[in-house]
Amino acid sequence: MRDIKIEVKDLSLYYGEKKALKEISMQIPANKVTALIGPSGCGKSTFLRCINRMNDLIPDVTITGQMLVEGVDIYNKDVDVVNIRKKIGMVFQKSNPFPKSIYENIAYGPKINGIKNKTELDEIVEVSLRQAAIWDEVKDRLGDSALGLSGGQQQRLCIARTLAVSPDIILMDEPASALDPISTSKIEELVHELKEQYTIIIVTHNMQQAARTSDHTAFFYMGELIEMGKTNAIFTKPEKKQTEDYITGRFG
């Protein structure tokens, strides 16, 4: 199948002795939004961080199984983790702009990739900020500190910063959980627009958000993938009892 972006085969993750992810297997389609849902501690964020190897930073983590992105196992020894992260961007739960100007925040990634030309950087900055629907709000103050922006603006800035390195896949770890409803809906609109060009995987504990924004939904529970399917199907007629219980709010 051409339109499968990520294929996960029997992926398990251990924190020391503790098994936090249990033989996860799934296929994530290209140019769609896939939502990962489940109660706190179910492993959805841990799984997300496996996709760009962010868990490498945590000592004592061992991972078995395969994570095939475009057919390449990213846990293969010959794969450079830096290149993986350039192709697979990440937006974090808490907005984390650098204590630099708005411009420098966006230009950070391209500069690291060796782009020095000012005109080229200017263009990347504008395009990225436009894509993240924040250009009009900040175009007159690109030199100001990014820390002066509101929480919602900061989060869209972080999305723009991720877009600036032109990734293929964007991972979002509860990107709107710390935002007000208006900012949240802006982020959700943005997710909807971005899936034209990117494959998006979004972790959320907000069921409505998963239902609104995603095409596919995967339900995690206690480190296991219980069920995955079209969002519509998962929310209307889930196959597993656990999924139904969670979605109808009987636990979690």
Partner 1 sequence: MDTVNNEINTAFFPSKKRGADLKGNIVIGITQVAVFLIIAVLFVILGIIIYQGRERFSWEFISTFPTNGMTEGGIFPALIGTFILVIVMSIAAVPFGTITAIYLTEYAKENSKFAAAVRFSVRTLAVVPSIIFGLFGLGFFIQFVGGGVDKVFNAGELHWGQPNILWASLTMALLTLPVIIVSVEEALKTIPRELREASLALGATKWQTIKQVVLPGSVSGIMTGTILAVSRGAGEVAPILFTGAAYYLATLPASMSDQFMNLGYHIYIMSTQSSDVEKTMPIQFATTLVLLILTLSLNLVAVIIRSRIRRRAK
Concatenate the DSSP letters of all residues of the chain into one string. -TTEEEEEEEEEEEETTEEEEEEEEEEEETTSEEEEE-STTSSHHHHHHHHTTGGGGSTTEEEEEEEEETTEETTSTTS-HHHHHHHEEEE-SS----SSBHHHHHHHHHHHTT---HHHHHHHHHHHHHHTT-HHHHGGGTTSBGGGS-HHHHHHHHHHHHHTT--SEEEEESTTTTS-HHHHHHHHHHHHHHTTTSEEEEE-S-HHHHHHH-SEEEEEETTEEEEEEEHHHHHHS-SSHHHHHHHTTS--
Query: Is the CB of 159 or the CB of 211 nearer to partner 1?
Result: 159
Query: Is the CB of 14 or the CB of 92 nearer to partner 1?
Result: 92
Query: Is the CB of 95 or the CB of 231 nearer to partner 1?
Result: 95
Q: What residue ranges bind partner 1 (CB under 8 A)?
A: 52, 54, 57, 59, 82-83, 85-86, 89-90, 92, 94, 96-99, 108-109, 112-113, 158, 161-162, 165
Query: Is the CB of 14 or the CB of 108 nearer to partner 1?
Result: 108
Tell me how far, at minimum, the Cβ of 97 lies from partner 1, in Å.
8
Tell me how far, at minimum, the Cβ of 114 lies from partner 1, in Å.
11
Residue corresponding to tokens 């939004």: 33
Query: Is the CB of 129 or the CB of 228 nearer to partner 1?
Result: 129
Residues 6+ apart with CB under 8 A from 103: 125, 142, 143
Tell me how far, at minimum, the Cβ of 67 lies from partner 1, in Å.
16
Tell me how far, at minimum, the Cβ of 91 lies from partner 1, in Å.
9
Tell me how far, at minimum, the Cβ of 60 lies from partner 1, in Å.
9
How far apart CA 34 and CA 19 sit, in angstroms, is: 24
Query: Is the CB of 42 or the CB of 54 nearer to partner 1?
Result: 54
Tell me how far, at minimum, the Cβ of 176 lies from partner 1, in Å.
17
